[in-house]
Chains A and B, each alone.
Chain A
């Protein structure tokens, strides 16, 4: 499926409104976790990194750039989701769970 430039712009605009609408009622306590969660989601650049490397053919410059991009994107995705999960874990530990000793 190929999408024309104009269609991409439509999607771009609709996504802007969706993004604003979806989090418009977030309470202050969730600002930090939400930022971190959003940070994980833009790890979607990893998809671009994989495509760049996957389609690099025998072009060494592209292989190098793609390889670096995949490493960096993975860091973003893995780190982002794990950090967010650790923050949110705190929010539900209500009945005296004393299992947190990790430093």
Chain B
């Protein structure tokens, strides 16, 4: 029993099981938090096992690097506001992609230098069998790295959220892909390995940028999910290159689960994945056909709006990302309690993609102590709008846009929406008059039943609250 690999291998085995259990628990609300912990323990175990591998050195450097990574990672993750969560996930995902890229490059250098490594027995001349995982690891890692950074930039507002267009996009991307394939062939077949591989990495990095730049902000959640599974796959591929079981299993798990998650998300938003990646959201002659007839919005004062809702029997609140941006979750909770004191029944209608990602709005409202029992899914709440005296729409747009039902030319046509237009009165709190996030005009705002309360969600709610209390 003196096999030095026994402990590391056992650690990897248990870690892999813990990842599977963790992922399983993460997919149910009651067990989710513990699921994350379980996966975390698995990660810790895998790392300890790695330290115990024979033939390892440079421990000082390793611990130093871990310390350098831990501090900003911890601080960023702890300090980021809940509204900025999606881009933070994207940023960390990009780091993982870059990590896989560097490892694959390193493995390539190792293979051509033919350093003999104790724990690896494969002969490291770049045969295709050995080279392919590294080449693909470089490709996926690099695309995931720059793609995630662009997605981060877009959601953070550093890069424009609008789809960026330039001529012959698909041709350029196709050529890049071709260049990647050629560089890979040249890298394996010629004796000048390394320059080709670096060229490949550069081309892949460029591809990541060019692929994500044209995609609009509204589709970023799907993009992040795709890139997430990309990094998972890259991790699995580096696992292949290094013959490391835990990396293959964990990476593949994430790659597969992430792909399924992407499909589920697309279904929730009724978007086809192909359209997100290659399509042109927000570019289709937008709003050209939308909302004919009179195009004037009717304004309402906070006082009138408070009267409508204060004397209503039932009010349904439709929270959107605008609410979160204005940090008005707590105010909306206060407003809800004030209404309930007047015996108004209040419910929240949560669209599956309210906020910026599926489930994002639930997190944001939970943070403001809105009880779970008041949150209603779309299918559940939609029939209730018919009995509602008022629907209060706060910073939401696309999820209540009737164009999704009516206008086949609209980019969001077919997306299931909340039937806010069925309520007797519709009050919309909106920052300005322009089209928003997805850049699509909203016919609901011109509906005769709709009244607009312009202003930042926080100020508007504050006014509503004051008016309501003085009724």
Contact = CB atoms under 8 A, between A and B. Distances in A.
Interface in A26-63: 26-57, 59, 61-63
B252 A55 contact: no
A63 to B, nearest CB: 7
Contacts of B88: 79, 83
B257 A20 contact: yes
Contacts of B264: 26, 28, 31
B243 A2 contact: yes
Contacts of A11: 245, 248-249, 252
Given A50-B47, A75-B72, A78-B73, A12 B115 contact: no
A85 B69 contact: no
Interface string A60-85: 01110111111111111111111111
A71 to B, nearest CB: 4
A31 B268 contact: yes
A86 B22 CA distance: 16
Contacts of A75: 69, 72-73, 92, 95
Interface stretch (B36-44, B153-161, B418-426): B36-44
B244 A70 contact: no
Listed residue (B36, B58, B105, B119) with the most chain A CB atoms within 10 angstroms of its CB: B36
Given A55-B55, A65-B106, A67-B61, A31 B359 contact: yes
Contacts of B55: 54-55
Given A83-B85, A94-B371, A102-B79, A73 B95 contact: yes
A96 B368 CA distance: 10
A interface secondary structure, majority: helix
Contact of A59 (B91, B107, B113, B225): B113
Interface of B: 5, 9, 19-20, 22-24, 26-29, 32-33, 35-37, 39-40, 42-43, 46-47, 50-51, 53, 55-59, 61-62, 65-66, 68-70, 72-74, 76-82, 85-86, 88-89, 91-93, 95-96, 98-100, 102-103, 105-107, 109-110, 113, 115, 117, 119, 121, 129, 221, 224-225, 228-229, 231-232, 234-236, 238-240, 242-261, 264-265, 268, 352, 357-360, 362-363, 366-367, 369, 371-372, 377
Interface of A: 1-3, 5, 8, 11-12, 15-20, 22-57, 59, 61-63, 65-94, 96-98, 100, 102-103
18 contacts: A12-B248, A15-B256, A18-B253, A26-B26, A30-B29, A31-B265, A37-B23, A41-B39, A45-B235, A47-B47, A47-B244, A50-B51, A55-B110, A67-B61, A72-B99, A83-B92, A85-B37, A93-B367
Given A12-B252, A37-B35, A86-B78, 4 more contacts: A19-B257, A41-B232, A46-B43, A76-B99
**Among all A-B residue pairs, the 8 with the closest Cβ atoms:** A74-B69, A19-B256, A31-B358, A78-B73, A54-B56, A82-B77, A15-B252, A70-B65
